[in-house]
Amino acid sequence: MKTGFYLRLAIDGMRKNRRLYLPYLLTCAGMVMVFYILTGLAYSPLMDSIRGGMTMKVILLLGTIVIAVFSLLFLFYTNSFLIRRRNREFGLYNILGMNKGDISRILLWETLLTALFALVVGLACGMLLSKLAELFLLHMADEKASYALHVEPKGLLAAVVFFGAIFAVLLVVSLARVRLSKPLDLLKSEAAGEKPPKANWVFAVAGAIILGAAYYLAVTIRQPLTALAVFFIAVIMVIVATYLLFIAGSVALCKLLQKNRGYYYKAAHFVSVSSMAFRMKRNGAGLASICILATMVLVMLSSSGCLYFGGENAMRGIYPYELAISADSASPEDCTETLREWLLAVSREAAQGSESDLQIYTKLETGGMFRDGELEMERFYEDRSASELENVRTVYILPLSDYERLSGRSAALGADEALVWSSGKAYEGDTFAVKGCRKLRVAGTLSELPFRSEEYRSVTTSYAVFVPNWEEVASEIAECADSGQTGRGLATVTTVCGFDLPGLDGEEQIEIENRLIDIVEADMIDGTIPTEVASVSYKSRADGRSDFFSVYGSLFFIGIALSVVFIAAAALIIYYKQLSEGYEDQSRFDIMQKVGMTKREIRSTVNSQVRTVFFAPLILAGVHLAFAFPFVQKIIRLFGVNNLPLLIITSCLCFLVFAVFYVIVYRGTARTYYSIVSAVGERRAV
Amino acid sequence: MSILEVRDLKKIYTSRFGTQKVEALRRVTFSVERGEYVAVMGESGSGKTTLLNLLAALDKPTAGTVYLDGIDLARLPEKDVAAFRRDQLGFVFQEFNLLDTFTVEDNIYLPLVLAGRPHGEMAARLEPLARELGISELLKKYPYEISGGQKQRAAVARALITEPKLLLADEPTGALDSRSTDELLSLFAEVNRRGQTIVMVTHSVKAASRASRVLFIRDGEVYHQLYRGGDTNEQLYQKISDTLTVLATGGDVA
Ligand SMILES: Nc1ncnc2c1ncn2[C@@H]1O[C@H](COP(=O)(O)OP(=O)(O)O)[C@@H](O)[C@H]1O
Ligand SMILES: [Mg+2]
B30 in A contact zone (CB under 8 Å) = no
Mutate to test the pocket of ligand 1, among B50, B59, B200, B201 (most ligand atoms within 8 A of CB): B50
The whole-angstrom separation of Cα A127 and Cα A155 is: 10
**pLDDT band at A285; cut points 50, 70, 90:** confident
- The residues pairing with A465 across neighbouring beta strands, listed in sequence order, are A397, A420
First to last CA, chain B: 28
CA of B208 to the centre of ligand 1 (A): 21
- Between the CA atoms of A507, A513, A519 and A522, what dihedral angle is there, to the nearest 10 degrees? -100
State if residue B48 touches ligand 1 by the CB under 6 angstroms criterion: yes
Q: Which residues contact B94 (CB under 8 A, 6 or more apart)?
A: B170, B171, B172, B174, B175
Confidence (pLDDT) at A193:
40
Interchain contact, B142 vs A594, CB within 8 Å: no
Does residue A502 sit in helix, strand or coil?
A: coil
Kindly indicate the confidence band of residue A458, based on its pLDDT and cuts at 50, 70 and 90. low
How many angstroms separate the CA atoms of A466 and A364, rounded? Answer: 11
The proportion of chain A whose per-residue pLDDT surpasses 90, expressed as a percent, equals 17
Q: What is the DSSP string of A485-499?
A: TT-TTSSEEEEEEEE
| Top-ranked range on mean pLDDT: pick from A206-210, A284-288, A539-543, A665-669 | A206-210
The yes-or-no verdict on residue A215 having pLDDT over 80 is yes
Q: Which residues contact A575 (CB under 8 A, 6 or more apart)?
A: A23, A665, A668, A669, A672
pLDDT at residue A256 tops 50: yes
For residue A382, pLDDT beyond 70: no
Closest by Cα among A136, A101, A110, A82 to A13 = A110
Q: CA dihedral defined by A601, A605, A611, A617, rounded to 10 degrees?
A: 170
> Is A379's pLDDT higher than 80?
no
First to last CA, chain A: 36
Check if B45 has its Cβ closer than 6 Å to any atom of ligand 1. Answer: yes
pLDDT attached to residue A228:
66
Higher pLDDT, A161 or A331: A161
In Å, what is the CA distance from A420 to each residue of A369, A430, A459?
A: 17, 10, 20
Could you tell me if A251 lies within 8 Å of chain B, comparing CB atoms? no
Most confident of A129-138, A169-178, B142-151, B207-216: B207-216
B120 touches A at CB < 8 Å: no
Handedness of CA A229, A231, A235, A238 (dihedral sign): positive
Contact: A591, B97; criterion CB under 8 Å: yes
Other beta carbons within 10 Å of A2: 8
A684 lines ligand 1 (CB under 6 A): yes
Per-residue confidence (pLDDT) for residue B159, from 0 to 100: 92
Strand partners, B71: B68
Under 8 Å between Cβ of A498 and A320:
yes
Put the strands of the sheet holding B221-227 in their side by side order. B71-72, B63-68, B2-14, B21-33, B221-227, B213-218, B37-41, B197-202, B166-170, B89-92
Q: Distance between CA atoms of A412 and A468, rounded to whole angstroms?
A: 9
| Closest Cα to atom 27 of ligand 1 | B45
Q: Is A325 helix (H, G, I), strand (E, B) or coil?
A: strand
Spatial distance between the Cα atoms of B171 and B42, rounded to a whole number of angstroms = 11
Strands A417-422 and A392-399: unpaired
Q: What is the pLDDT of residue A375?
A: 83
Closest residue of B to A192, CA-based? B144
pLDDT of residue A46: 78
Structure confidence at residue A684 as a pLDDT band (50, 70, 90) = very low
Q: Please check whether residue A552 is in contact with residue A308, taking contact to mean a CB–CB distance below 8 angstroms.
A: yes
> What secondary structure letter does DSSP report for A686?
-
Q: How far is A19 from chain B (nearest CA, A)?
A: 22
CB nearest to B114's CB, from A196, A590, A596? A596
Whole-number pLDDT of residue A17: 83
pLDDT band with cut points at 50, 70 and 90 for residue B176 = confident
Tell me how far apart the alpha carbons of residues A82 and B45 are, in angstroms, rounded to a whole number: 37
Mean pLDDT computed over A329-335: 86
User: What residues of A are in contact with residue B82 (Cβ under 8 Å)?
Assistant: 593, 596-598, 601
CA A354/CA A222 separation, integer angstroms: 44
Q: Which residues of A touch B86 (CB under 8 A)?
A: 595-597
Mean of per-residue pLDDT scores for chain A: 82
Atom of ligand 1 nearest to the CA of B170: 21
Tell me the pLDDT band of A686, cut-offs 50, 70 and 90: very low
Query: Where are chain A's structural domains?
Result: 1-192, 196-320+545-686, 321-544
Q: Say if residue A76's pLDDT is above 80.
A: yes
pLDDT of residue B251: 62
Give the pLDDT band of residue A453 (cuts 50, 70, 90): confident
Q: Taking CB atoms and an 8 Å cutoff, what residues of chain A touch B87?
A: 596
Q: Per-residue pLDDT for B37 more than 90?
A: yes
For residues A222-249, average pLDDT: 81
Phi/psi-derived region of residue A336, left when phi > 0, alpha when psi is between -120 and 50, beta in every other case:
beta
**Where is pLDDT greater, at A573 or B28?**
B28
Rounded to the nearest whole angstrom, what is the distance from the C-alpha of residue B245 to the centroid of ligand 1?
A: 24
Q: Give pLDDT, residue A189.
A: 46
pLDDT tens, position by position, A264-274: 888 778 887 88
Atom 2 of ligand 1: nearest residue by CA position: A685
Of A261, A266, A596, the CB nearest to B83: A596
The Cα–Cα gap between B167 and B154 comes to: 14
Other CB atoms closer than 10 Å to residue B149's CB: what's the count?
Answer: 19
Let me know the angle formed at the C-alpha of A423 by A418 and A427, rounded to the nearest 5 degrees.
Answer: 45
Q: Would you say A446 and A421 are in contact if contact means Cβ atoms under 8 Å apart?
A: yes
Q: How do A374-377 and A323-329 pair as beta strands? A: unpaired
Q: Which long-range contacts link A587-594 to residues 24+ away (Cβ below 8 Å)?
A: A587/A680, A588/A275, A588/B99, A588/B100, A588/B101, A589/A677, A589/A678, A589/A680, A590/A680, A590/B97, A591/B97, A591/B98, A591/B99, A592/A271, A592/B99, A593/B58, A593/B82, A594/B56, A594/B58, A594/B85, A594/B91, A594/B93, A594/B97
Per-residue confidence at B67, pLDDT binned at 50, 70, 90? very high
Pairing of β A492-500 and β A356-371: antiparallel
User: From the CA of B47, how far away is ligand 1's center (Å)?
Assistant: 6
The 3-state secondary structure of A301-321 reads HHHHHHHHHHHHHHHHHHCCC
A153 interfaces chain B, CB cutoff of 8 Å: no
How far apart, in whole angstroms, are the C-alpha atoms of residue A361 and residue A404?
11
pLDDT category at B198 given cuts 50, 70, 90 is very high
> Residue B101 and residue A686: Cβ atoms within 8 Å?
no
Residue B42: CB within 6 Å of ligand 1? Answer: yes
pTM summary value: 0.72
Question: B101 at the A interface (CB within 8 A)?
Answer: yes
Q: What is the pLDDT of residue A223?
A: 62
Torsion sign, CA atoms A144, A149, A154, A156? positive
CA B64 and chain centroid, separation: 20
Specify whether the backbone of A635 is left (phi greater than 0), alpha (psi in -120 to 50) or beta.
alpha
Give the residues across from B10 on adjacent strands: B63
Counting from 1 in the atom list of ligand 1, the atom nearest the Cα of B42 is 22
Interacting residues of A201 by C-beta distance below 8 A, sequence separation 6+: A248, A252
Which residue would you say has higher pLDDT here, A342 or A592? A342
Residue A537 β-bridge partners: A326
The per-residue DSSP string of A432-473 comes to EEETTTEEEEEEEEESS-SS---TT-TTSEEEEEEETTHHHH
DSSP β-ladder status, B166-170 and A431-434: unpaired
Q: Quick one: closest CA in A to B78, which residue?
A: A598
A124: pLDDT confidence band, cut at 50, 70 and 90? Answer: very high
Does A265 contact B119 at a Cβ distance shorter than 8 Å?
Answer: yes
B116 DSSP assignment: T
pLDDT of residue A517: 92
Pairing of strands B89-92, A535-540: unpaired
The pLDDT of residue A685: 35
- Judge whether B163 and B86 are in contact, CB under 8 Å: no
**Any atom of ligand 1 within 6 Å of the Cβ of B22:** yes
What's the mean pLDDT in A591-609? Answer: 76
**A163-172, A177-186, A429-438, B138-147: lowest mean pLDDT where?**
A177-186
Q: Is the CB of A685 under 6 A from ligand 1?
A: yes
Query: Of B99, B103, B142, which has the smallest distance from its Cβ to A588's Cβ?
Result: B99
Question: Which DSSP letter does residue A364 get?
Answer: E
Separation of alpha carbons A615 and A291, rounded Å:
10
Report the nearest-CA residue for atom 13 of ligand 1: B24
For a ligand 1 pocket test, name from B12, B13, B43, B218 the mutation site with the most ligand atoms within 8 angstroms of its C-beta.
B13
A590 inside 8 A of chain B by CB: yes
Calpha distance A121→A32 (Å, rounded):
9
Burial of A49 (0-12, 13-18, 19+ CB in 10 A): exposed
pLDDT reading at A121 higher than 90 = yes
Split at pLDDT 50, 70, 90, the class of B185 is: very high
What integer is the mean pLDDT of A54-62? 83
In chain B, residues 142-171 whose CB comes closer than 8 Å to chain A? 142, 144, 158
Looking at residues B4-17, what average pLDDT do you find? 87
User: Taking all residues of chain B, what is their mean pLDDT, rounded to a whole number?
Assistant: 88
- pLDDT level of residue A159 (50, 70, 90 thresholds): very high
Cα–Cα distance for residue pair A654/A215, rounded to 1 Å:
21
Q: Please indicate if any CB of chain B lies within 8 Å of the CB of A682.
A: yes
Q: Report how far ligand 1's centroid is from the alpha carbon of A676 (Å).
A: 22
* Spatial contact of A504 and A510, defined as CB atoms under 8 Å apart: no
pLDDT at B78 over 80: no
pLDDT band at A683 (very low <50, low <70, confident <90, very high): very low
